[in-house]
A = this chain, B = another copy of it.
Protein backbone atom coordinates (compact mmCIF):
# COMPACT_ATOMS: atom_id res chain seq x y z
CA UNK A 1 0.00 0.00 0.00
CA UNK A 2 2.99 2.20 -0.62
CA UNK A 3 1.26 4.47 -3.09
CA UNK A 4 -1.47 5.28 -0.58
CA UNK A 5 -0.19 8.78 -0.13
CA UNK A 6 -3.18 10.90 0.83
CA UNK A 7 -1.83 13.08 -1.93
CA UNK A 8 -3.81 16.16 -2.72
CA UNK A 9 -4.96 17.35 -6.09
CA UNK A 10 -2.75 19.93 -7.72
CA UNK A 11 -3.62 23.35 -6.35
CA UNK A 12 -6.19 21.95 -3.97
CA UNK A 13 -4.46 23.43 -0.95
CA UNK A 14 -4.19 27.17 -0.72
CA UNK A 15 -2.43 29.16 1.94
CA UNK A 16 -1.02 32.62 2.53
CA UNK A 17 1.06 31.63 5.55
CA UNK A 18 4.15 29.98 4.11
CA UNK A 19 5.41 29.12 0.65
CA UNK A 20 7.64 26.05 0.62
CA UNK A 21 9.93 25.42 -2.33
CA UNK A 22 12.81 23.03 -2.56
CA UNK A 23 15.49 24.37 -0.20
CA UNK A 24 13.57 27.59 0.45
CA UNK A 25 10.85 28.55 2.95
CA UNK A 26 9.12 31.92 2.82
CA UNK A 27 6.75 32.94 5.60
CA UNK A 28 4.47 35.95 5.24
CA UNK A 29 6.77 37.14 2.48
CA UNK A 30 10.02 36.81 4.43
CA UNK A 31 12.69 34.20 3.76
CA UNK A 32 13.03 32.08 6.90
CA UNK A 33 16.82 32.35 6.62
CA UNK A 34 16.43 36.06 7.30
CA UNK A 35 13.77 35.63 9.95
CA UNK A 36 15.93 33.18 11.92
CA UNK A 37 18.76 35.67 12.03
CA UNK A 38 16.89 38.89 12.55
CA UNK A 39 13.47 38.65 14.16
CA UNK A 40 12.57 38.34 17.82
CA UNK A 41 10.38 35.35 18.58
CA UNK A 42 7.56 37.55 19.92
CA UNK A 43 7.63 39.57 16.68
CA UNK A 44 7.61 36.31 14.72
CA UNK A 45 4.40 35.41 16.53
CA UNK A 46 2.90 38.78 15.58
CA UNK A 47 4.07 38.42 11.99
CA UNK A 48 2.67 34.95 11.44
CA UNK A 49 -0.69 35.80 13.01
CA UNK A 50 -1.18 39.28 11.57
CA UNK A 51 0.72 39.01 8.30
CA UNK A 52 3.01 41.95 9.01
CA UNK A 53 5.94 42.87 11.25
CA UNK A 54 4.86 44.93 14.26
CA UNK A 55 5.96 48.52 14.81
CA UNK A 56 8.40 49.09 17.68
CA UNK A 57 5.57 50.15 19.95
CA UNK A 58 3.38 47.20 18.96
CA UNK A 59 6.35 44.88 19.49
CA UNK A 60 6.80 46.07 23.08
CA UNK A 61 3.12 45.83 23.93
CA UNK A 62 2.65 42.41 22.35
CA UNK A 63 5.63 41.12 24.35
CA UNK A 64 3.94 42.23 27.60
CA UNK A 65 0.83 40.32 26.59
CA UNK A 66 2.66 37.08 25.86
CA UNK A 67 4.71 37.19 29.07
CA UNK A 68 1.65 37.97 31.19
CA UNK A 69 0.02 34.67 30.18
CA UNK A 70 3.01 32.51 31.16
CA UNK A 71 1.80 30.58 34.22
CA UNK A 72 -0.57 30.50 37.18
CA UNK A 73 0.93 27.59 39.10
CA UNK A 74 -0.90 24.31 39.55
CA UNK A 75 -4.31 25.91 40.13
CA UNK A 76 -5.88 25.97 36.63
CA UNK A 77 -7.65 22.87 35.26
CA UNK A 78 -5.39 22.95 32.20
CA UNK A 79 -2.26 22.62 34.33
CA UNK A 80 -3.79 19.88 36.43
CA UNK A 81 -4.82 18.07 33.25
CA UNK A 82 -1.24 18.28 31.92
CA UNK A 83 0.04 16.76 35.16
CA UNK A 84 -2.61 14.03 35.33
CA UNK A 85 -1.90 12.87 31.79
CA UNK A 86 1.86 13.05 32.29
CA UNK A 87 1.52 10.98 35.41
CA UNK A 88 -0.14 8.18 33.43
CA UNK A 89 3.05 7.80 31.39
CA UNK A 90 1.77 9.41 28.19
CA UNK A 91 4.17 11.48 26.07
CA UNK A 92 4.47 15.23 26.60
CA UNK A 93 2.59 16.18 23.45
CA UNK A 94 -0.41 14.18 24.70
CA UNK A 95 -0.23 15.89 28.09
CA UNK A 96 -0.13 19.32 26.49
CA UNK A 97 -2.91 18.47 24.03
CA UNK A 98 -5.09 17.45 26.97
CA UNK A 99 -4.26 20.70 28.74
CA UNK A 100 -5.34 22.74 25.71
CA UNK A 101 -8.64 20.87 25.73
CA UNK A 102 -9.28 22.34 29.19
CA UNK A 103 -9.46 25.85 27.73
CA UNK A 104 -13.23 25.72 27.65
CA UNK A 105 -15.85 28.42 27.99
CA UNK A 106 -15.22 28.85 31.69
CA UNK A 107 -11.42 28.80 31.59
CA UNK A 108 -9.90 30.59 28.60
CA UNK A 109 -13.13 31.60 26.89
CA UNK A 110 -13.31 34.97 28.65
CA UNK A 111 -10.65 36.60 26.51
CA UNK A 112 -12.55 36.09 23.26
CA UNK A 113 -15.83 37.16 24.83
CA UNK A 114 -14.23 40.31 26.22
CA UNK A 115 -12.63 41.10 22.84
CA UNK A 116 -16.01 40.71 21.14
CA UNK A 117 -17.64 42.92 23.73
CA UNK A 118 -15.09 45.74 23.53
CA UNK A 119 -14.84 45.60 19.75
CA UNK A 120 -18.58 45.51 19.15
CA UNK A 121 -19.04 48.54 21.41
CA UNK A 122 -16.21 50.54 19.85
CA UNK A 123 -17.32 49.52 16.35
CA UNK A 124 -20.85 50.72 17.08
CA UNK A 125 -19.46 54.22 17.49
CA UNK A 126 -17.17 54.09 14.51
CA UNK A 127 -20.16 53.22 12.38
CA UNK A 128 -21.86 56.43 13.35
CA UNK A 129 -18.89 58.70 13.51
CA UNK A 130 -15.40 58.31 12.21
CA UNK A 131 -13.74 61.09 14.15
CA UNK A 132 -11.77 60.06 17.23
CA UNK A 133 -13.79 58.70 20.08
CA UNK A 134 -14.00 61.12 22.99
CA UNK A 135 -14.01 60.26 26.66
CA UNK A 136 -17.70 61.03 27.01
CA UNK A 137 -18.51 58.37 24.42
CA UNK A 138 -16.26 55.89 26.21
CA UNK A 139 -17.96 56.63 29.52
CA UNK A 140 -21.38 56.08 28.05
CA UNK A 141 -20.28 52.77 26.49
CA UNK A 142 -19.01 51.66 29.90
CA UNK A 143 -22.38 52.47 31.44
CA UNK A 144 -24.08 50.60 28.61
CA UNK A 145 -22.04 47.46 29.34
CA UNK A 146 -22.60 47.85 33.07
CA UNK A 147 -26.34 47.97 32.52
CA UNK A 148 -26.34 45.03 30.13
CA UNK A 149 -24.32 42.82 32.48
CA UNK A 150 -24.05 43.82 36.11
CA UNK A 151 -27.53 45.25 36.46
CA UNK A 152 -28.94 42.08 34.92
CA UNK A 153 -26.85 39.86 37.18
CA UNK A 154 -24.58 38.63 34.37
CA UNK A 155 -20.84 38.23 34.80
CA UNK A 156 -18.81 40.65 32.64
CA UNK A 157 -16.18 38.66 30.73
CA UNK A 158 -12.66 39.56 31.82
CA UNK A 159 -13.54 40.69 35.34
CA UNK A 160 -12.84 39.01 38.68
CA UNK A 161 -10.50 36.17 39.62
CA UNK A 162 -11.04 33.07 41.70
CA UNK A 163 -7.84 33.61 43.67
CA UNK A 164 -7.10 37.33 43.51
CA UNK A 165 -8.90 40.52 44.48
CA UNK A 166 -6.42 42.43 42.33
CA UNK A 167 -5.06 40.26 39.53
CA UNK A 168 -1.46 41.49 39.57
CA UNK A 169 -1.00 40.82 35.85
CA UNK A 170 -3.98 42.92 34.82
CA UNK A 171 -2.98 45.62 37.26
CA UNK A 172 0.57 45.77 35.90
CA UNK A 173 -0.55 45.71 32.25
CA UNK A 174 -2.94 48.61 32.80
CA UNK A 175 -0.28 50.50 34.77
CA UNK A 176 2.14 50.16 31.84
CA UNK A 177 -0.54 51.23 29.39
CA UNK A 178 -1.35 54.37 31.38
CA UNK A 179 2.27 55.27 32.12
CA UNK A 180 3.24 55.00 28.46
CA UNK A 181 0.11 56.45 26.96
CA UNK A 182 -0.88 53.23 25.21
CA UNK A 183 -4.49 54.31 25.37
CA UNK A 184 -6.38 53.17 22.34
CA UNK A 185 -10.16 53.13 22.46
CA UNK A 186 -10.47 49.53 23.73
CA UNK A 187 -8.07 50.06 26.62
CA UNK A 188 -9.84 53.29 27.49
CA UNK A 189 -13.14 51.44 27.52
CA UNK A 190 -11.72 48.66 29.73
CA UNK A 191 -10.37 51.23 32.19
CA UNK A 192 -13.62 53.18 32.28
CA UNK A 193 -15.55 49.97 32.82
CA UNK A 194 -13.17 48.95 35.61
CA UNK A 195 -13.67 52.27 37.39
CA UNK A 196 -17.41 51.79 37.28
CA UNK A 197 -17.45 48.13 38.30
CA UNK A 198 -14.88 48.63 41.04
CA UNK A 199 -16.73 51.58 42.55
CA UNK A 200 -19.98 49.61 42.74
CA UNK A 201 -18.89 45.99 43.11
CA UNK A 202 -15.25 46.04 44.13
CA UNK A 203 -14.30 43.79 41.21
CA UNK A 204 -11.39 44.53 38.86
CA UNK A 205 -10.13 43.44 35.45
CA UNK A 206 -8.37 40.09 35.29
CA UNK A 207 -5.55 39.08 32.95
CA UNK A 208 -8.04 38.06 30.25
CA UNK A 209 -9.92 41.34 30.40
CA UNK A 210 -6.79 43.47 30.32
CA UNK A 211 -5.28 41.54 27.43
CA UNK A 212 -8.57 41.54 25.55
CA UNK A 213 -8.43 45.32 25.53
CA UNK A 214 -4.76 45.45 24.56
CA UNK A 215 -5.12 42.88 21.77
CA UNK A 216 -8.15 44.76 20.46
CA UNK A 217 -6.15 47.96 20.29
CA UNK A 218 -3.44 45.99 18.46
CA UNK A 219 -6.06 45.05 15.87
CA UNK A 220 -6.45 41.36 16.73
CA UNK A 221 -9.62 39.56 15.72
CA UNK A 222 -11.42 38.03 18.75
CA UNK A 223 -11.09 34.63 17.03
CA UNK A 224 -7.34 34.86 17.70
CA UNK A 225 -7.68 35.60 21.42
CA UNK A 226 -7.50 32.01 22.62
CA UNK A 227 -4.66 31.42 20.15
CA UNK A 228 -2.53 34.19 21.67
CA UNK A 229 -3.36 32.91 25.14
CA UNK A 230 -2.26 29.39 24.16
CA UNK A 231 1.05 30.69 22.80
CA UNK A 232 1.71 32.57 26.02
CA UNK A 233 0.69 29.72 28.32
CA UNK A 234 2.36 26.81 26.49
CA UNK A 235 5.80 27.26 28.10
CA UNK A 236 4.24 27.07 31.56
CA UNK A 237 2.32 23.93 30.71
CA UNK A 238 5.47 22.30 29.41
CA UNK A 239 7.36 23.27 32.56
CA UNK A 240 4.67 21.61 34.69
CA UNK A 241 4.53 18.46 32.59
CA UNK A 242 8.30 18.19 32.75
CA UNK A 243 8.35 18.75 36.50
CA UNK A 244 5.73 16.03 36.96
CA UNK A 245 7.68 13.59 34.81
CA UNK A 246 11.00 14.25 36.52
CA UNK A 247 9.90 14.30 40.12
CA UNK A 248 7.46 11.45 40.06
CA UNK A 249 8.49 7.97 39.10
CA UNK A 250 5.48 5.92 40.02
CA UNK A 251 1.93 5.81 38.79
CA UNK A 252 0.21 8.16 41.23
CA UNK A 253 -2.79 7.11 43.17
CA UNK A 254 -5.04 10.10 42.80
CA UNK A 255 -7.44 9.36 45.58
CA UNK A 256 -8.21 6.87 48.28
CA UNK A 257 -11.40 4.90 48.03
CA UNK A 258 -12.87 6.69 51.03
CA UNK A 259 -12.22 10.06 49.39
CA UNK A 260 -15.12 9.29 47.10
CA UNK A 261 -18.76 9.59 48.07
CA UNK A 262 -21.10 7.28 46.22
CA UNK A 263 -24.45 8.92 45.60
CA UNK A 264 -26.27 6.13 43.75
Please report A residues at the B interface, Cβ cutoff 8 Å. 1-29, 31-33, 35-37, 39-42, 44-45, 48-49, 63-64, 66-68, 70-78, 80-81, 83-85, 87-98, 100-109, 162-169, 171-173, 176, 221, 223-224, 226-227, 230-232, 234-236, 238-243, 245-248, 250-264
Contact = CB atoms under 8 A, between A and B. Distances in A.
Contacts of A88: 77-78, 102-107
A264 B16 contact: yes
Contact of A164 (B18, B23, B78, B169): B23
A254 B105 contact: no
B22 A12 contact: no
Contacts of A241: 227
A70 B10 contact: no
Copies in the complex: 4
Contacts of A255: 6-8, 13, 74-75
A85 B104 contact: yes
Contacts of A3: 11-12
Contacts of A32: 67-68, 70, 168-169, 172
Contacts of A28: 264
